[in-house]
Every structure is written in C-alpha cells, then in structure tokens.
C-alpha cells in the first residue's frame, strides 16, 4: 500500500509558488482509498491552498488531530463551515471521522491567554464530525495508525509544563503535560514513515513507540514539526544521536523547528525541507 502526502500548511513556503503559509501545519493524505486531513493549521489557509492545488477536502474520510493547540486545530471552524455548505438541504453527505487524543479538545490556558487550544469544544466538534477520541492506538487502514498517547521514555525529552494548564470537563485545572500530543505512523515497504504535528512528546519517544505499535524495526522517514525552537544543546545532541541510530533515508523538517536545529540535526541524519505545496509518496 502507498501513502501520498501534500503539505497544505506550514511555516515554510517557496517564494516562487502562489500558496500561502502560516505558523501551523496541515497535511492531506491518501492511502488505501481513504482521504485524510492531518491537522488543520491556524486558519482557513489550508482550504485556500487545497483549492489552488485541486484537492477536494469536501469528501474526507478522516480528520486526525496531532494535538489540541490552535495552530493545529484553528482550521476546524472554516472546515466545519465548508463541510456544511457541501451537504445538501436534507443534511446528508459524508461525515468525516475525527480522531484525536481524549484530552485534545479540552481548553488549554497559558499565562494570560485563556485558551491556546481548540476554539471548538468537544460538543461543537461532534456537531460536524463523528468522533473517535482515544489515548490508545487507532488503526485507520491496515498500514496507517494514530498512535494515541505517547509513553515518555527518554528523560532528555521531558519538559516542564511552566504556565501551561488544562481544564477538565469537571472544571478542575491542572498543569498541562501535553499528553494529547500524538502522531501517525505508516508501514511502507522500506520501513515506517512517521508523521508528527509538533512532537511535544519528543520525536525520540514518538519513533520508539511507533516501532513498538507497528512491530517494525526500521524508520525510513519522519516528516513534520519537531518542536525544537530553542532546545538545550544537550537535548538537541541526544535527539540527533537517536535519529542517527535509525538510519533514516530522510528527515523532512517542518513546523516549529528552528534553522539552527535543522543545521545541527543535519550532522546526524539527512535533513530535507518540506514546505507548502510539496508532495511526497512512499
């Protein structure tokens, strides 16, 4: 089975194309006859870019959210409106299944910001989508899996919550450990392809768990955000050494990864760019 991926939204775009970019991430995937939107970016930019690219997001089978932050879920509002307009007067039509971690749609205050998470609540999301909220792996096809909650195994990837909080349905407020951060893994003939949103869980933790869930030995490619904006040098070096041990054919770096981090990681593995409008196939 093959997987095709088109970058609809990212921080990076080529100056010679007509697509818009923004601080966020959205991928359009096709595999096994299924059409999947992985994250929605911060706004309606992914919709505009998809239209220019000739990609129809009106007949999606799945919407998968890597985690709840608004630069990955902000596009849910324009997507909901778009899908509503595509349905006929009887209210029928394809209803995508939304897959995410159980905590993904909880409000997430940070500092003075009342919510850095999804603007749409879980109840509002259920008005547009059928929902599958799980902290366990969810197989979308025989070869593509949503990983659910990522075990935090590598101490160098643990981060303190700082002023991040999460509000639970009972009204309780707790430090936000970003346990809703997840990823996708695809079993290709050459090894796993891992698709990350922000990698708050840590890309080493994500890759290690993906290998376990998929019962694989090799990772051939990683594409997505690594959340290495200003990492400690020791963490960056350890991340690089872990990725080096994977013998990746490519590390396609996207969203929330600094130029310095990209340069440093290139000493350990073949770093390649991935920006708006780029297409990949495995």
pLDDT in tens, 234-263: 999 999 999 999 999 999 999 999 999 999
The average pLDDT across 78-93 equals 77
Q: Per the structure, how many domains does the chain have?
A: 1
Q: What is the CA radius of gyration of the chain?
A: 18
The average pLDDT across 96-107 equals 98
Whole-angstrom Cα distance, residue 135 to residue 226? 21
Q: In this predicted structure, what is the pLDDT of residue 279? A: 97
Q: For strand 183-188 and strand 191-196, is the pairing parallel, antiparallel, or unpaired?
A: antiparallel
Whole-angstrom Cα distance, residue 144 to residue 188? 9
Alpha-carbon separation of residue 125 from 130, 168, 203 (angstroms): 8, 17, 28
Q: In this predicted structure, what is the pLDDT of residue 89? A: 55
Q: In this predicted structure, what is the pLDDT of residue 91? A: 55
The average pLDDT across 83-87 equals 82
Q: What length does the chain have?
A: 282
Q: For strand 4-9 and strand 26-31, is the pairing parallel, antiparallel, or unpaired?
A: antiparallel
Whole-angstrom Cα distance, residue 49 to residue 52? 5
For the full predicted model, state whether its pTM sits above 0.85: yes
Report the CATH number that the domain containing residue 250 is assigned in CATH. Answer: 3.60.15.10
Query: Which two tokens mark 82?
Result: 């778009």
Query: Which two tokens mark 252?
Result: 């396609």
Q: In this predicted structure, what is the pLDDT of residue 85? A: 84
How would DSSP label each residue in 106-161? S---BTTBS-SS-SS-HHHHTTTSEEEE-SS-EESSSSEEE--SPP---GGG----
| Domain housing 50 | 4-281
Give the pLDDT band (50/70/90) at residue 97. Answer: very high
3-state secondary structure of 58: helix
pLDDT in tens, 20-48: 999 999 999 999 999 999 999 999 999 99
The average pLDDT across 117-142 equals 96
* Average pLDDT score, the chain: 95
Backbone angles phi, psi at 137, to 5 degrees: -60, 140
């Amino acid at each position: 089975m093959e997987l095709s991926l088109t970058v609809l939204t990212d921080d990076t775009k080529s100056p010679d194309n007509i697509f818009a970019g923004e601080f966020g991430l959205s991928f359009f995937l096709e595999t096994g006859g299924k059409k999947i939107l992985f994250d929605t970016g911060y706004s309606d930019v992914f919709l505009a870019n998809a239209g220019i690219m000739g990609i129809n997001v009106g007949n999606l089978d799945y919407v998968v959210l890597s985690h709840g932050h608004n630069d990955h879920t902000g596009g849910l509002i324009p997507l909901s409106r778009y899908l509503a307009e595509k349905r006929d007067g009887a209210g029928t039509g394809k209803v995508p299944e939304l897959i995410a971690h159980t905590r993904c749609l909880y409000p997430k205050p940070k500092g003075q910001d009342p919510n850095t998470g999804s603007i749409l609540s879980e109840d509002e999301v259920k008005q547009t989508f059928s929902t599958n909220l799980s902290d366990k792996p969810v197989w979308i096809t025989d070869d593509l899996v949503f990983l659910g909650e990522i075990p935090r195994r590598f101490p160098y990837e643990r981060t303190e919550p700082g002023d991040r909080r999460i509000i639970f349905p009972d009204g309780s407020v707790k430090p936000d450990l970003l346990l809703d951060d997840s990823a996708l893994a695809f079993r290709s003939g050459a090894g796993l392809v891992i698709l990350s949103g922000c990698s708050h869980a840590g890309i080493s933790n994500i890759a290690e768990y993906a290998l376990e869930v998929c019962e694989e030995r090799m990772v051939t490619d990683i594409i997505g955000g690594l959340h290495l904006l200003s990492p400690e040098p020791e963490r960056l070096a350890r991340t690089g050494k872990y990725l080096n041990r994977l013998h990746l054919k490519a590390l396609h770096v996207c969203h929330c990864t600094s130029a310095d981090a990209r340069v440093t990681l290139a000493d350990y593995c073949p770093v390649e760019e991935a920006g708006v409008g780029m297409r990949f196939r495995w």
